[in-house]
Amino acid sequence: MQRHKISAFIPVHNVEDIIEECLESIKWVDEIFIVDDFSTDRTIEICKKYSNVKIVQHKYENSGAQRYWGMPQVSNEWVLIIDSDERCTMELRKEIEKILSQNEIKFDGYEVHLKTKFLGKIQNHDRYLGHIGMRLVRKKSYKEYTLKRVHSTLDIKNHSRIRNKKAYIIHIPIRDFRQHLQKIIRYAEWSAFDMFEKGEKAHWYNITIRPFFKFIKHYFIKLGFLDGIRGLILCIIASITVFLKFYYLYILNHQR
């Protein structure tokens, strides 16, 4: 039996400096489906170099909304969800190929391990920037998205996990200091709006104690200290993001 066909789904916007490395890592799929937020750099030009690329354009709201809009349009039953700042390793490709080679695939989704690459080095204990995600899914699973401005969740009940820990997605979220700070602020604002719309309030302990415990959790409990100075930096950033989120929520509460 011929293996099940698969599409890779990638949302992009002005990522000419990183998109080619991402595309190289997933060029083996049957279709690379790209949802572009009207890029003004060479992103589209680079993407068109690949014969199996299909490009559509849609205004970006957030990653969840972009996937919810775009996934119904992919050509194949199976979808590998990946971002432009991520890379599919060869081991992960092998595991996906094994799944797609089955006559009957009994699950609708598979969780995949993620590892952050920071300042040129893989972080083996980082949890702040994500350590696992539902990334290999059936096309129809887009209906299971719980949409939020930040960190929309895909809740597939009939799912499994690719358990080979050598098979993972490499995430490279921090490449430019200024851009990363802007992203942290943007995500903090979005998270605060999500909480505000639910009627949540920022109390003194959210602004003082929660950032501290966020650091303790990721640095000590999640073993971030084993990643050296890089782990320390990432855990400090994690605590800062919590402070900024509740600080902005406090501003929204006060303005109302």
Per DSSP, 169 falls in state E
Name 171's Cβ contacts closer than 8 Å, sequence gap at least 6.
83, 85, 86, 114, 115, 116, 117, 129, 130
For the stretch 159-176, pLDDT in tens is 999 999 999 999 999 988
Residue that terminates a domain, selected from 116, 148, 171? 171
Least trusted range by pLDDT, from 47-56, 57-66, 122-131, 227-236: 122-131
Q: What is the CATH number of the domain that holds 55?
A: 3.90.550.10
Domain that holds residue 234: 177-255
Q: Are residues 189 and 234 located together in one domain of the fold?
A: yes
Same domain for 121 and 236, yes or no, is no
Rg of the chain, C-alpha, whole Å: 19
Question: What's the pLDDT band for 177 if we cut at 50, 70, 90?
Answer: very high
pLDDT at 169: 98
Q: Of the candidates 91, 99, 93, which has an alpha carbon nearest to the alpha carbon of residue 137?
A: 99
**Which two structure tokens, joined as six digits, stand for 116?**
């952050």
Q: Among residues 139, 171, 203, which one ends one of the domains?
A: 171
**Both 61 and 161 in a single domain?**
yes
Q: Are residues 163 and 186 in the same domain?
A: no
- Residue written as tokens 């698969």? 6
Decide if pLDDT at 256 tops 80.
no
Q: What are the CA-CA distances from residue 171 to residues 29, 86, 88 (Å)?
A: 19, 4, 9
Contacts of 134 (CB under 8 A, 6+ apart): 81, 109, 110, 111, 112, 141, 154, 156, 159
Contact 64, 152 (CB under 8 A): yes
Once rounded to an integer, what is the mean pLDDT over residues 225-252?
Answer: 97
In a domain, 202, yes or no: yes
Residue 111 β-bridge partners: 134, 161
pLDDT band at 130 (very low <50, low <70, confident <90, very high): confident
CA distances from 208 to 189, 196, 240, 252 (A): 18, 19, 11, 18
Q: What is the structure's pLDDT at 182?
A: 95
User: What is the 3-state secondary structure of 50-90?
Assistant: CCCEEEEECCCCCHHHHHHHHHHHCCCCEEEECCCCEEECH
Q: Is pLDDT at 70 greater than 70 in this prediction?
A: yes
187-210 confidence digits (pLDDT tens): 999 999 999 999 999 999 999 999
Unique residue bearing structure tokens 């081991």: 91
Identify the bridge partners of residue 55 per DSSP, sorted by sequence position: 34
**167 and 181 assigned to the same domain:** no
pLDDT of residue 1: 64
Angle of helix 228-255 relative to helix 177-197, nearest 10 degrees, comes to 40
| Global confidence as pTM | 0.93
Same domain, 154 and 42: yes
Q: Is residue 1 part of a domain?
A: no
pLDDT digits (tens, 9 = 90+) for 79-111: 999 999 999 999 999 999 999 999 999 999 999
Indicate the residue among 119, 151, 171 that finishes a domain: 171
